Amino acid sequence: MSPRRFTAALLVLGLLTACGPVETPTATAPLRSVKLMLGFRPDVQFAPFYLAQQAGYFADAGLDVTIEFKDGADLMRLVAAGQPESGVFGVADATDVMISRTAGIPVTYVSTLYERFPVALIGPSGTVPTDPAELAGKRIGTPGQFGSSWHALLALLDAGGLSAEDVTIRTYPQFNQVDGLLRGDVDLITGFRNNEPLRLELEGMAVDLLTVDEVAPLPGPGLIVGDDLLGSDPGLAAEFARAMQRAVAAIAAAPEIGFDAAAEAVPAIGEERETALSVLEATILLWSTNGGRIDQTAWESGYETMVSLGFIDGSVPVGEMTSDVAAPTP
């Protein structure tokens, strides 16, 4: 069985056994309008949300969801500041949730979307060290001193007994570090392992990866909600998460429906079907296989890493950063 099919089977099995029956509102019940903030820009990786919209998974959960795209910081603030009646959700990096929560931004992580941390160091085949200590002296391209790529890079360097001063870092704030690697301006880049490697291979560059999961595990991105909304209506977050996980499971079982949903929502995605489908299939391998249950062990380990790297001071306990309100029923 291929890894993709195995993951798909696990996802479907997990959803069927863990989530239990999804309660659907009566046909006459009005839908609750909520907003979903997604980071970066429209992409096939957001297929579960397009599918949940188009296939009626959100409607089955009593939700009328409007999707908006915001950059990471604005997303976090808007989710935190969203009034309970306006219902704002977001998808964000777990590491950013740790930092923003520590900085006083009241957001809570309620459901895992990416079970595996998607960032890796990527370079031409045969040049990527397997031991992080061998990163010393390398020229590394990364978007900037923020976000999951930066956290992963520092975690990898730390695992090798190194710091940012031991390498030459070149920043690509427009996320065009692939161009830098292709030009030979840098030796390695940070990137999402379900995206940049495929783009580089399309340009004719065979690549190897050093994934942060192997040396310094960090929890992956997931669904977040503001504390006010979570406190006033925890059921809403649970319903949203179930609809999201239902779409995740459906796409894992049949990636084509995810691609079709994404292409319908964003026609530009459909222009490069093979590439987009490849990205989606690589993304599925990273998604949660257990209905979005939060891996507390990964969170605690990641929290310790983030404290040791100085991103957070440990003043907010890790237990206050997540909620099991949307956990699938055992």
253 and 224 Cβ atoms separated by less than 8 Å: no
What backbone torsions phi and psi does residue 125 show, to the nearest 5 degrees?
-55, 135
Q: Using CB atoms within 10 A of its CB, is residue 195 exposed (0-12), middle (13-18) or buried (19+)? A: buried
Determine which residue in the list 16, 31, 103, 206 makes contact with another protein, applying CB under 8 A: 103
Does residue 76 belong to the site contacting another protein (CB under 8 A)? yes
Nearer to another protein, 139 or 273 (CB): 139
Nearer to another protein, 13 or 73 (CB): 73
d(CA 203, CA 189): 15
Does residue 73 belong to the site contacting another protein (CB under 8 A)? yes
Does residue 4 belong to the site contacting another protein (CB under 8 A)? no
46 and 90 Cβ atoms separated by less than 8 Å: no
Nearer to another protein, 165 or 274 (CB): 165
- Determine the interface stretch with another protein among 21-29, 45-53, 99-107, 320-328 (rule: CB under 8 A): 99-107
**Residue 146's CB: how many other CB atoms inside 10 A?**
16
- Determine the interface stretch with another protein among 69-77, 120-128, 207-215, 260-268 (rule: CB under 8 A): 69-77
Nearer to another protein, 138 or 293 (CB): 138
Binding mask 118-157 for another protein (x = CB under 8 A): --------------------------xxxx--x-------
Nearer to another protein, 154 or 280 (CB): 154
Nearest to 80 by CA among 62, 56, 63, 97: 97
- Count CA atoms within 13 Å of residue 113 on its CB side: 25
Token couple for 224: 């977040």
Does residue 105 belong to the site contacting another protein (CB under 8 A)? yes
- Determine the interface stretch with another protein among 102-110, 153-161, 191-199, 320-328 (rule: CB under 8 A): 102-110
CA 207, distance to chain mean position in Å, is 22
Q: H or E segment at 120?
A: strand 119-124
Amino acid at 21: P
Helix (H, G, I), strand (E, B) or coil at 167: coil
Does residue 81 belong to the site contacting another protein (CB under 8 A)? yes
d(CA 245, CA 199): 27
Binding mask 176-215 for another protein (x = CB under 8 A): x--xx--x-x------------------------------
Token couple for 85: 């009646």
Binding mask 159-178 for another protein (x = CB under 8 A): ----------xxxxxx-x--
Residues engaged in binding another protein (CB under 8 A): 71-73, 76-77, 80-81, 96, 99-100, 103-105, 144-147, 150, 169-174, 176, 179-180, 183, 185
